[in-house]
Structure 1
C-alpha cells in the first residue's frame, strides 16, 4: 500500500506517521478520572483519610534508610550530615511539588504511570510503568531480605537465640539457602492487603506511629550523651562532603509518592493527595534531621566509619548508655519499619498494575476486584508470589541499585508532565499548583537527571536491558491490547 504524498513531499498519512501517532497517543484526563475506581467485577472503595494517606507515604519512606544510610553518610560529611538531609529534602521537594499538582488534577491509582499516559503518550507511560515494576519488585524484595537480619538481631538481644543462617540469609550470603523470614513478612503484608484497604491503612498507621516512637526514643537517649564538641569541626569535608552525603541520603526519601497510588481509594483525593505528599515529606525530613543531630552529637563522627553502617544507630545507643536494652528496642523499631515498607510498597505495585490492566496494557486479571473486599485479589496474590520468590531464592546483589534509576526516571517524567499539562489543558481544575512554575518542575527534571548521570555503569546496563525487555513486551502485547488501539475503542467505551 502506497502512502499519500503531501504537497511538500512528506507522507503525513503514511505508516511511519501512523505508528508515531499510535505510540504517542494520550489518554484524555477526563476519561482517566471518570474510570477511577472501576475494575472487573467490582470497584475500589474510597476509605482512606488524609491521615492514612500521609502515613502511607511516611510508611513507604521511613524504613531501612535511616537505620543504614546514616552510617554511610556521616563519614562523608561529618556533623554536617544534618545539612545533607536538608539538601536531599529540597531535591525531593521539587519532585514532590510536581507530584502534588498532578495527584490533585488526576486523582487515580496509577501514580506517575497515569500522569505520563495523560501527558506524554502511551509508549512513555508504558516505559514508566515498566520501570516502576522493577523499582517496586526489587526494592521490596531487598527490604524483605533485610527483615530477617533485623529480626535475628532482636531475637539475639531479647532472648539470646538466633535463626540458622540457612533459613535466614539470602542464597550465596553467609551460608544462606532460602530466606524464610523474607517470605514471612511478604505473607503478613499480603494478608493485610487482602483484608481490605481500610484494614491495611489502619495497620500501617499503627506501625508508622510505632517506628516514629522508636526513633524519638533513640533521640531522647542519644541527647542525654550529647556533647557540643562532637559537632566541631561541623563540615570537615566542606561543601563537597555535604553534597556527596546528600546524594547518598537522597534515596532514603524515595517513597513519598506512595499516596499517589491510592488516588482511587482516597475519600477526598483532590484535596488530600497533594497535602499527604507534602506533609509526608515534611514529617520524614524532621525525623531524619533530628535523628542525625542526636547521633552526631552523641558519638564523634569519625567513629561512625568504624561502627559499620547497619549498626551505627545501635552503636550510638550502646555508647550513650553502656547497656544493650536500648539497642534492642531500636532493633524492634527496624523490624516494624521494614514490615511497614513491605506493606505500602506492595500496595503501590498492585495499584499501578491495576491501572495498567484497566488500560489493556497488561492482562485483565490484574484489574479484577473482589466485590466483598473491594481489593484486586488475584493481582495481590500474583505480586506477592513474585516478590516472595525473588526475596527468598534470588541473590539480588547489585541489581538493587537499579531501583534508584527507575525511581529518578519516574520522578523526572512527572515534572515534565506538569509542564505539558499546563500547556495542553490549562482549563483543568487544579486543587494544587506547583509554586514558581516553570522553575520548580524544571529544577525537578534537572536534579533527577544529574543524579541519574552519577549512577554506575552496571546500574545503567540493568536499566537499559530492562527497558528493552519492556519495549518487547509492549510490542508483543500492550500495543495490540491497548484500549486506545483503533480496534479496541468501540468495545471499551
Structure 2
C-alpha cells in the first residue's frame, strides 16, 4: 500500500461533501425562490436527484483512471488537447466572474448588520478579494484541514438554522406554488448548479483511497445523501418559514436564525459568512492562479500575459473588479458562472461515454450527460458565454499550434488541499 493511499470512506465522503457545499447556499434559497417561488423546491429536488448520476459518473472515471487531472485529463483522453484546453479555460475564466457573486452573497449579510446597502457590499467585496489577493501574492495558503473545517462550520450553521426555524414552518407559505409559472422551475434549476458544482472532485480523489473499487462507491453514496439532505432541508424550511419574504431576502440564513433564536444572530451569521467566503475566494484565487500559469506554460493561454502565477493572479483580481462593476444582478452573474460549470460537466460526461466500458456505468453516464445537457439549455442565453470561452480556447490552440493538453486539475480551483 502506498503512503498516500490511505483515505478512508468517511474521510473521502467528508472531502467530497466539502467540495460541493459552498458559500452559495447562504443565498441560493432566496435566488431560487425569486425565480420560481415555492416551486423552487422542485428545482432543488431535481438537482439533488440529478447529482447522483453525475457524482457516480465521475467516481467511475476516477476508479478506472485514477489521476489528479480530473475533467481535463478525461477530456484529453476522449477528445484531444483542444477540448481539454476548453475545460481549463472554462474553470479559469469562471473565477473572476464568480468572485463577485460569492462575495455578493456575503455582502447582503454584512450590509444587514452595518447598513449602507450597495456601498457596504462593495466595501466587503474589496476587503475580501484584496485579502485573498495579498495572501496568494505572498504565498500564504489555507491548508486543506482549514478548508475542511470551514465546510464543517457551514454544515453546522445549516443544521442549527434548520432546527431553530423548523417550529415556525407554515404550510400556507406553499401557496401560490408557482407564482411565475412552471417555467420558473427551470430558471431556478439553472441557478442551483452553483450549489452542486464540485462533484468532479470525486475523480481526483479516487487514487487516494485504500481500496478505490470498494470505497469510491460507498463514499459517493454517503456524500450524495448528506448533501441532498442538507440542501433540501434548508430550502424547505426557508420556503415554509419565510414565505414570500424569502424571494427578496439578502440574508436568508440570518432571517431564519432570527426567527428561530432571536438575539444578535445577524452578527454571528455575518461573521461566519465573511470567514467562509474569504476561505473560498482564497482557494479559488490560489487554484486559478496556478491553473492559468500552467495553461500558459503548455500553450493553452498566451504566455506573455499569463505566464507566471503572479501575473495570472493579478489578472484574476482585475477581472473580478471589472465584473463587480458590470451592470449585472446576482441572478444573471450566477447564471454566467454556472453556465461555465455546466459546460465542463457536459464535456466530462461526454468523455465518460467514450471512456467507460459498456454496462451500468456507461448507462449512468448517459443519464448524467442528458441531464447536464438539459441544464445547459435551461441556463438560457448566459450559456452562450461558456460556449464563447470554450470556442476561444479551441481557436487559440488552432492559431498557436503549440498547445498541449493541460493536466492541471480543475479541482485546484476549488480548494488548496496541501497542508
TM-score, with length taken from structure 2: 0.77
Supply the distance in 2 between the matched residues of 1:110 and 1:440 (Cα, whole angstroms): 22
Quick one: structure 1 residues 183 and 275, their matched pair in 2 at CA, closer, same or farther if it must change by over 3 Å?
farther
1:385 counterpart residue number: 314
Supply the distance in 2 between the matched residues of 1:350 and 1:413 (Cα, whole angstroms): 23
In the alignment, which of 220, 243, 247 is matched to residue 163 of structure 2? 220
* Aligned: 1:328 with 2:275: no
1:450 counterpart residue number: 374
Quick one: structure 1 residues 421 and 258, their matched pair in 2 at CA, closer, same or farther if it must change by over 3 Å?
closer
1:151, distance to aligned residue in structure 2 (A): 4.3
1:97, distance to aligned residue in structure 2 (A): 1.5
Supply the distance in 2 between the matched residues of 1:405 and 1:164 (Cα, whole angstroms): 26
2:252 counterpart residue number: 312
**What secondary structure sits across from 1:256 in the alignment?**
coil
Supply the distance in 2 between the matched residues of 1:279 and 1:187 (Cα, whole angstroms): 37
Query: After the TM superposition, which residues 149-298 of structure 1 pair with which residues of structure 2 at under 5 Å, given as runs?
Result: 150-151=109-110, 153=112, 156=114, 165=119, 169=122, 179-188=126-135, 194=139, 200-227=143-170, 229-230=171-172, 233=175, 235=177, 242-260=185-203, 266=208, 270=212, 278-298=221-241
**What secondary structure sits across from 2:379 in the alignment?**
coil
1:264-283 Cα shifts (integer Å, max 9, x gaps) = 8x465946666655544332
1:417 counterpart residue number: 351
1:313, distance to aligned residue in structure 2 (A): 3.1
The answer (yes or no) to whether the contact 2:129–2:317 under 8 Å persists in 1 is yes
1:30 counterpart residue number: none
1:402, distance to aligned residue in structure 2 (A): 2.6
Runs of 5+ consecutive residues of structure 1 not aligned to the other structure: 1-44, 171-175, 369-377, 427-434, 485-493
Supply the distance in 2 between the matched residues of 1:349 and 1:355 (Cα, whole angstroms): 10
The answer (yes or no) to whether the contact 1:411–1:448 under 8 Å persists in 2 is yes
Supply the distance in 2 between the matched residues of 1:352 and 1:99 (Cα, whole angstroms): 21
Determine which structure has the larger helix proportion and give its number. Answer: 2
In the alignment, which of 462, 474, 480 is matched to residue 397 of structure 2? 474
Quick one: structure 1 residues 345 and 98, their matched pair in 2 at CA, closer, same or farther if it must change by over 3 Å?
farther
1:328, distance to aligned residue in structure 2 (A): 2.4
* Aligned: 1:462 with 2:385: yes
Supply the distance in 2 between the matched residues of 1:304 and 1:46 (Cα, whole angstroms): 46
Q: CA RMSD, aligned part only?
A: 4.1
The answer (yes or no) to whether the contact 2:191–2:338 under 8 Å persists in 1 is no
**What secondary structure sits across from 1:89 in the alignment?**
helix
Query: After the TM superposition, which residues 89-108 of structure 1 pair with which residues of structure 2 at under 5 Å, given as runs?
Result: 89-108=48-67
1:113, distance to aligned residue in structure 2 (A): 0.9
1:131 counterpart residue number: 90
The answer (yes or no) to whether the contact 1:61–1:341 under 8 Å persists in 2 is no
1:85 counterpart residue number: 44
Supply the distance in 2 between the matched residues of 1:182 and 1:126 (Cα, whole angstroms): 26
Quick one: structure 1 residues 355 and 164, their matched pair in 2 at CA, closer, same or farther if it must change by over 3 Å?
closer
* Aligned: 1:112 with 2:71: yes
1:75, distance to aligned residue in structure 2 (A): 5.2
Supply the distance in 2 between the matched residues of 1:390 and 1:217 (Cα, whole angstroms): 36
Supply the distance in 1 between the matched residues of 2:301 and 2:118 (Cα, whole angstroms): 40
Quick one: structure 1 residues 483 and 443, their matched pair in 2 at CA, closer, same or farther if it must change by over 3 Å?
closer
1:265-303 Cα shifts (integer Å, max 9, x gaps) = x4659466666555443322211111123223323x233
1:343, distance to aligned residue in structure 2 (A): 4.0
The answer (yes or no) to whether the contact 2:87–2:390 under 8 Å persists in 1 is no
Query: Does 1 or 2 have the higher relative contact order (CA < 8 Å, sep 6+)?
Result: 2
**What secondary structure sits across from 2:339 in the alignment?**
helix
1:328-347 Cα shifts (integer Å, max 9, x gaps) = 22223322332343244345
Supply the distance in 1 between the matched residues of 2:322 and 2:190 (Cα, whole angstroms): 31
1:442, distance to aligned residue in structure 2 (A): 1.8
2:338 counterpart residue number: 404
The answer (yes or no) to whether the contact 1:109–1:355 under 8 Å persists in 2 is no
2:360 counterpart residue number: 436
Quick one: structure 1 residues 205 and 461, their matched pair in 2 at CA, closer, same or farther if it must change by over 3 Å?
closer
User: Number of residues paired by the alignment?
Assistant: 396
Quick one: structure 1 residues 274 and 363, their matched pair in 2 at CA, closer, same or farther if it must change by over 3 Å?
farther
**What secondary structure sits across from 2:196 in the alignment?**
coil
